[in-house]
């Protein structure tokens, strides 16, 4: 059931209990977890934090802890599947789920006792009403003959039947109604569960809880902003929703910044200041050189088509048009001339309009504490994602989770900077892979979708054995492909990407993303498609990730799985 | 040369200066005592000779030996006393039961001293707090909060906290637990205090 008053039904219920937090591995979940940890620390609620990377981890963690905890809080996992059936808990376990995955499973919505959803009821849900799906079946009368199809249509014959004529007809009516109802139910459920998408950020939900409790701080606000920006960077929500949520956050930011700052009592430079920025869409540009950032950001790279010679020339023209000397532009951003940095954003916006890049600026937030430390929300997201999915040796997933969680604190700046270095490497790898895929025509049109497979020897292919990195690569690749292809029909197709995941076990990671368009609603149907294709070909797949459009597949089963998908989707 | 063995004892302690207790150098102490005995015998003989034959030329060597005796005494005294101070610090760090390897390094007399120290500390603690007793060996620095956030560095299995419930300490899980339950695990290196 949906929780209406989050303070009474959630926070006050767990305030004097011990809670288990099961947190998924994405940045939004990490931010939400930090906010909740800060609240729990404030009120001295004892908790245990367990990172979970997939359904199997969730099941194991639950089994290990079910005897010790009664209250479980699941962050960014658990809403889109029938949780009670998956975990088989005891009757007194209570689950609080704050998840951005939609559609929310109908059993979770209509269970009144054990599942409490920390989701706003109007959050773009479209849940079918109770009567359309559940029916109390106590209408079978005694007196047999309940499933007899041959009764329908035949006239009642014989004297024995005439006595029951009325009741037989009623029974036939009822059976027909029931069949119709069941057909409608299947249709409704199919429509409801067909597309997968994302709702409001979990970090924002918990920030609202903190606000209602009036325990919100600037740190929590910043984490909520990072959670929201993560949804935008990884393209999980539509542009409209992002802008609406930014407006909500902007109200909180102005509330926190409302201080009588004047000459006499200005805040110390070390205090944390969050400000609204209408900043450039160039990834990490303040921590890199401007040239590198333009060459490696998806937006500029795709518009200029920087994998072609022509594109490189256009970039040089663009820089010359703005009057930026190459020497300056290739330096670290912090060492650029002040005269250039002053109006940089406006200058770039003006020039990019000439080159067809109308939205080079995007609404976002930045933080500023101390003399050296300025970060944009998207910088933090890239750095933390790189740490979370780092493929260095001897680091397992939980180590990375802990490192990424730590990097969100303001006191762990070295970790954040190391994350930024990893993010830069990842972006360069993505751009190089995109360039090579397009130049060697690795993207094949299979009919209802586009398909690309990264071979094992490709440079940096190890980076793409992680789901978020591979998803980011696919999105960039799709945008680049749309810019470079002349085939109009191909521009409206979705993309499936496969990359080797585990060489010893011989598996590949397969990711499906929806087609790219201006008005895309980011709804992904590949989850169900993958399930059905795997079933029909009995391929060995592992649907372990919380996003159903990301699966692991045995390399040998790749071709038959693809064939099944093609037949399914054409 | 005289007194070298005694200085050797002192150097041994200085080498391991971070509060650890090296093994009790029984041989070294015995050698120093033997040297002292030898010096004393010589001195006795010389003093008797000087007194009986009124010889003044033995006086410098008597004085030298006397200084060596005093030096040896001071060195052995310092050695034994420093060890006692370290053993006292161990009580505050490890609690009243010392780990076996530390006890192995102590001599029998030192163990006896430790027991007496434990007893007097315990009776002192019992007398505090209006007869209720107060464990002063906990919370060496004033704690900022009742509960602390800890991260598990190694698998440790289950930990029971005051109301009987169990916490499973698995690697890389984070917990928010009462401070007094975590302190000895933090000292052992199983939990790590997370500071933000």
Q: Domain residue spans in chain B? A: 4-127, 147-193
B180 contacts B148 by C-beta, under 8 angstroms: no
For A68, the closest of B146, B168, B177 (CB atoms) is: B168
What's the pLDDT at B56?
82
Residues of chain A contacting residue B168, judged by C-beta atoms under 8 Å apart:
48, 64-65, 68
CATH of domain A442-569: 3.10.310
Tens digit of each residue's pLDDT (9 = 90 or more) over A215-270: 999 999 999 999 999 999 998 999 989 999 999 999 999 998 876 566 566 777 78
Average pLDDT over residues A537-557: 88
- The ipTM is 0.74
Residues of chain A contacting residue B171, judged by C-beta atoms under 8 Å apart:
398
CB contact under 8 A, B176 and A46: yes
B155 contacts B171 by C-beta, under 8 angstroms: yes
Closest CA to A231 of A214, A246, A251: A246
Residues of chain B contacting residue A398, judged by C-beta atoms under 8 Å apart:
171-172
Asked if the C-beta of B160 comes within 8 angstroms of chain A's C-beta atoms, the answer is: no
Q: How sure is the predictor about A55, in pLDDT bands with cuts at 50, 70 and 90?
A: very high
For B171, the closest of A64, A68, A398 (CB atoms) is: A398
Residue B57, helix vs strand vs coil: coil
Tens digit of each residue's pLDDT (9 = 90 or more) over A144-153: 343 343 443 3
* Residue B163 C-alpha, separation from nearest chain A C-alpha, in angstroms: 11
Share of chain B above pLDDT 90, in %: 33
Q: Give dist(CA A95, CA A72) in Å, integer.
A: 5
Residues of chain B contacting residue A218, judged by C-beta atoms under 8 Å apart:
none
Residues of chain A contacting residue B155, judged by C-beta atoms under 8 Å apart:
none
Q: Is the pLDDT of residue B182 over 90?
A: no
Asked if the C-beta of A398 comes within 8 angstroms of chain B's C-beta atoms, the answer is: yes
Question: In the structure encoding, which two tokens stand for residue A251, read together?
Answer: 């109200």
Residue of B nearest to A400 (CA): B172
Q: For domain B4-127, is the CATH number 1.20.58.1030?
A: yes
Taken as a whole, chain B contains a residue count of 196
Q: Give dist(CA A193, CA A105) in Å, integer.
A: 8
**From-to residues of CATH 3.10.310 in chain A:** 442-569
A76 contacts A28 by C-beta, under 8 angstroms: yes
Q: Kindly report which listed range (A28-32, B29-33, B86-90, B134-138) carries the lowest average pLDDT score.
A: B134-138
Asked if the C-beta of A72 comes within 8 angstroms of chain B's C-beta atoms, the answer is: no
What's the pLDDT at B98?
82
Residues of chain B contacting residue A37, judged by C-beta atoms under 8 Å apart:
149, 176
CB contact under 8 A, A411 and B196: yes
Token pair 């990407």 in the structure block, residue: A497
Residue A444, helix vs strand vs coil: strand
Residue of B nearest to A43 (CA): B147
Asked if the C-beta of B166 comes within 8 angstroms of chain A's C-beta atoms, the answer is: yes
For A68, the closest of B165, B171, B178 (CB atoms) is: B165
Average pLDDT over residues A551-560: 89
Residue of B nearest to A40 (CA): B176
pTM, 2 dp: 0.82
What's the pLDDT at A97?
93
Q: How does the average pLDDT of chain B come out, rounded?
A: 86
Residues of chain B contacting residue A42, judged by C-beta atoms under 8 Å apart:
none
* Residue partners of A183: CB distance under 8 A and separation at least 6: none
CB contact under 8 A, A48 and B168: yes
Q: Could you give phi then psi for residue A293, rounded to 5 degrees?
A: -65, -40
CB contact under 8 A, A409 and B196: yes
CB contact under 8 A, A67 and B166: yes
């Amino acid at each position: 059931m949906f929780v209406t008053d989050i303070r009474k039904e959630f926070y006050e219920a767990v305030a004097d209990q011990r809670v288990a937090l099961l947190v998924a591995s994405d940045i939004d979940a990490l931010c939400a977890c930090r906010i909740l940890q800060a609240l729990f620390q404030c009120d001295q609620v004892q908790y245990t934090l367990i990172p979970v990377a997939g359904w199997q981890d969730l099941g194991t963690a639950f089994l290990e802890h079910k005897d010790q905890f009664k209250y479980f809080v699941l962050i960014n996992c658990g809403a889109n599947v029938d949780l009670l059936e998956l975990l088989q808990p005891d009757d007194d376990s209570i689950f609080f789920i704050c998840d951005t995955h939609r559609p929310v499973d109908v059993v979770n919505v209509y269970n009144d006792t054990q599942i409490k959803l920390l989701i706003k009821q109007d959050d773009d849900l479209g849940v079918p009403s109770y009567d359309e799906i559940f029916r109390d079946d106590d209408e079978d009368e005694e007196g047999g003959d309940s499933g007899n199809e041959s009764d329908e249509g035949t006239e009642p014959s014989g004297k024995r039947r005439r006595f029951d004529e009325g009741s037989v007809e009623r029974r036939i009516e009822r059976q027909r109604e029931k069949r119709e109802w069941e057909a409608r139910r299947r249709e409704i459920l199919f429509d409801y569960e067909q597309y997968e998408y994302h709702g409001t950020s979990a970090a924002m939900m918990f920030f609202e809880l903190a606000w209602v409790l009036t325990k919100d701080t600037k740190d929590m606000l910043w984490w909520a902003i990072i959670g929201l920006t993560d949804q935008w960077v990884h393209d999980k929500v539509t542009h409209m929703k992002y802008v609406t949520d930014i407006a909500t956050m902007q109200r909180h930011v102005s509330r926190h910044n409302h201080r009588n700052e004047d000459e006499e009592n200005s805040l110390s430079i070390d205090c944390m200041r969050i400000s609204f920025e209408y900043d450039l869409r160039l990834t990490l540009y303040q921590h890199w050189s401007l040239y590198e950032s333009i060459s490696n950001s998806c937006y500029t790279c795709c518009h200029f088509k920087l994998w072609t010679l022509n594109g490189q020339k256009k970039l040089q023209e663009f820089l010359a048009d703005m009057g930026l000397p190459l020497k300056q532009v290739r330096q670290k951003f912090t060492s650029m001339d002040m005269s250039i940095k002053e109006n940089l954003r406006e200058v770039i916006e003006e020039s990019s309009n000439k080159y067809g890049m109308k939205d080079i600026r995007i609404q976002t937030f930045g933080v500023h504490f101390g003399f050296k430390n300025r970060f944009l929300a998207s910088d933090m997201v890239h750095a933390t994602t790189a740490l979370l999915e780092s493929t260095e040796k001897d680091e397992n997933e939980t180590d990375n989770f802990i490192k990424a969680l730590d990097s969100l604190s303001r006191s762990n700046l070295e970790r954040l900077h190391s994350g930024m270095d990893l993010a830069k490497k990842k972006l360069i790898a993505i751009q190089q892979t995109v360039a090579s895929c397009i130049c060697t025509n690795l993207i094949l049109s299979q009919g209802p979708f586009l398909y690309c497979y990264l071979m094992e020897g490709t440079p940096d292919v190890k980076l793409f054995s992680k789901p978020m990195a591979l998803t980011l690569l696919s999105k960039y690749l799709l945008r680049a492909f749309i810019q470079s292809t002349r085939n109009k029909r191909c521009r409206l197709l979705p993309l499936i990407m496969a990359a080797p995941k585990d060489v010893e076990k011989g598996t590949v990671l397969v990711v499906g993303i929806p087609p790219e368009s201006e008005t895309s609603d980011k709804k992904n149907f590949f989850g169900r498609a993958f399930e059905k294709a795997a079933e029909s070909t009995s391929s060995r797949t592992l649907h372990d990730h919380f996003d159903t459009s990301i699966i692991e597949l045995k390399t040998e089963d790749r071709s038959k799985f693809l064939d099944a998908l093609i037949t399914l989707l054409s | 040369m005289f007194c070298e063995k005694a200085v050797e004892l002192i150097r041994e302690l200085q080498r391991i200066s971070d509060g650890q207790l090296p093994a009790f150098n029984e041989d070294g102490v015995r050698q120093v005592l033997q040297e002292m005995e030898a010096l004393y015998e010589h001195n006795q003989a010389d003093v008797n000779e000087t007194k009986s034959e009124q010889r003044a030329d033995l006086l410098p060597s008597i004085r030298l030996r006397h200084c060596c005796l005093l030096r040896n005494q001071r060195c052995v005294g310092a050695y034994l006393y420093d060890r006692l101070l370290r053993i006292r610090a161990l009580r505050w760090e490890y609690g009243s039961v010392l780990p076996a390897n530390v006890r192995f390094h102590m001599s029998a007399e030192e163990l006896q001293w430790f027991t007496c120290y434990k007893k007097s500390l315990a009776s002192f603690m019992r007398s505090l707090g209006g007869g209720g007793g107060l464990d002063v060996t906990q919370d060496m620095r004033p704690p900022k909060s009742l509960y602390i956030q800890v991260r598990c560095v190694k698998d440790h299995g289950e930990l029971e906290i005051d109301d009987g419930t169990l916490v499973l300490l698995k690697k890389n899980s984070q917990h928010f637990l009462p401070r007094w339950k975590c302190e000895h695990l933090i000292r052992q290196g199983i939990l790590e205090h997370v500071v933000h």
